Structure 1
Amino acid sequence: MAVEVSFLPDNVTVSATPGESILDVAERAGVNIPTGCLMGSCHACEVEIEGQEEPICACISAVPNTQSPYVINLYVDPTW
């Protein structure tokens, strides 16, 4: 089962497999998510997921087996 992943604010949508790395999906879609440590410690890759209160670290997160679309809101942290 594929999940449609939408990246905001650019409205880029790509099909992904549940369990696939969010960074891999973003790269395939031509979307840049800034990274730092790639271990979730520095929080440089934080993104907001529609319907969730807390941001997640894209470097250690995967696309869940969820109803499409899975909406990821990219934002820029001024410290990075």
Structure 2
Amino acid sequence: MTDARRARWAAVGTGTLLTCAGLAAALLRSAGAAPALVPAAYAVGAAVCAFAAVLGAKGRTRRALWSLIAGTMIMALGDQFD
């Protein structure tokens, strides 16, 4: 397995994992008494991570990495409003 293929799988796997975690957090926070901005931030962060997984699958691993960082930061920022 080449390094490029390994990087693609890592980007896809990490993007998928963070997308699932962000969506689960958005659903859990929307069921509670959190402000509306909190689940929205988790959902937007999850969407950015899903986009990163798509970028990783297409071989754009550097852009996927930065998208994963941005998506995680959006989710963390949303958590600060809670």
- TM-score tier by shorter-chain length is 0.3 to 0.5
Greater per-residue strand proportion: 1
Greater per-residue helix proportion: 2
Bigger-Rg structure (1/2): 2
Query: TM-score, normalised to structure 1's length?
Result: 0.34
Query: TM-score, normalised to structure 2's length?
Result: 0.33
